[in-house]
């Protein structure tokens, strides 16, 4: 079974093709170019370099967020289009599950963090027990200070992974029971996305089609917040 993985939820754009337990090809680019400029070029190039055709793909793994609203819409539209044309299933994986799987040999509690702006992070908690990937705490939004306080009061040891580790490194370094993952593991990877998707597909969990798949929006976009604030001001001025 060949799975095409697509992840544009964060700053990086990552795509890959996995066949069963074998990684065929993976491209991850973390530049200032927009996802719309990179994504289809990367997918087409990757398929060509792998000596494959889009007809060889059996399923699509998609990162549904949380993350960049624009990035999520781009990857979602791309996955839906391919799924509809080829009648392929789409397996949904959230951003934090995928990041946690970067640390699949870790014995500590894995705490992924992504920037949610306004001094907040998207986070959750995961652990590998006897080779099984377990969710200890679902996705939530908290301030970085709340998270640091929560972790420092715990008796557990944590590995922190994700792009937001760079943003809040000084605060995290003060927490004695926390360790920051290496630079190679702090970026979102489509291969980890596909690893989680493969597990889910076998269990028939979070498997959708092009009509039922949707992004995970934990909260309103900044544009929506600003619009609502503007409308409230206009209402108050009446």
Residues in the chain where the model's pLDDT stays below 50: 223-225, 227-228
**What one-character DSSP code corresponds to residue 67?**
S
Query: Which residues have C-beta within 8 Å of that of residue 84, sequence separation ≥ 6?
Result: 210
Q: Would you say residue 193 lies in a domain?
A: yes
Q: Would you say residue 233 lies in a domain?
A: no
Q: Would you say residue 113 lies in a domain?
A: yes
My answer on whether 20 and 48 are in the same domain is yes
Query: 31 near 70, Cβ under 8 Å?
Result: no
Give the domain extent around 212: 2-95+188-221
Distance CA 30, CA 46 (A): 16
My answer on whether 55 and 8 are in the same domain is yes
**pTM of the shown model:** 0.89
Q: Which residues make beta-bridge pairs with 132?
A: 129
Query: Which residues have C-beta within 8 Å of that of residue 188, sequence separation ≥ 6?
Result: 7, 9, 10, 12, 14, 28, 63, 95, 98, 99, 162, 163
Report pLDDT for 112: 98
My answer on whether 43 and 119 are in the same domain is no
Domain count of the fold of the chain: 2
């Amino acid at each position: 079974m060949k799975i095409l993985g697509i992840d544009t939820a964060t700053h990086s754009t990552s795509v890959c093709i996995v066949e069963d337990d074998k990684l065929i090809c993976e491209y991850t680019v973390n530049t200032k170019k927009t996802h719309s400029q990179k994504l289809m070029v990367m997918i087409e190039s990757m398929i060509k370099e792998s000596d494959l055709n889009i007809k060889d793909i059996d399923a699509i793994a998609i990162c549904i967020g949380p993350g960049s609203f624009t990035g999520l819409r781009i990857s979602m539209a791309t996955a839906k289009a391919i799924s509809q044309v080829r009648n392929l299933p789409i397996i949904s994986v959230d951003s934090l599950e995928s990041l946690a799987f970067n640390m699949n040999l870790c014995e500590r509690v894995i705490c992924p963090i992504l920037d949610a702006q306004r001094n907040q992070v998207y986070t959750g908690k995961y652990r590998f027990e006897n080779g099984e990937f377990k969710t200890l705490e679902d996705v939530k939004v908290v301030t970085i200070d709340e998270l640091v306080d929560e972790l420092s009061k715990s008796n557990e040891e944590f590995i922190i992974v994700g792009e937001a580790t760079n943003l809040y490194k000084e605060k995290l370094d003060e927490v004695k029971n926390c360790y920051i993952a290496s630079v190679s593991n702090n970026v979102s990877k489509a291969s980890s996305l596909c690893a989680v998707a493969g597990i889910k597909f076998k269990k028939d969990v979070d498997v959708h089609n092009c009509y039922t798949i949707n992004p995970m929006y934990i909260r309103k976009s900044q544009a929506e917040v600003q619009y609502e604030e503007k409308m409230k001001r206009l209402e108050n001025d009446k």
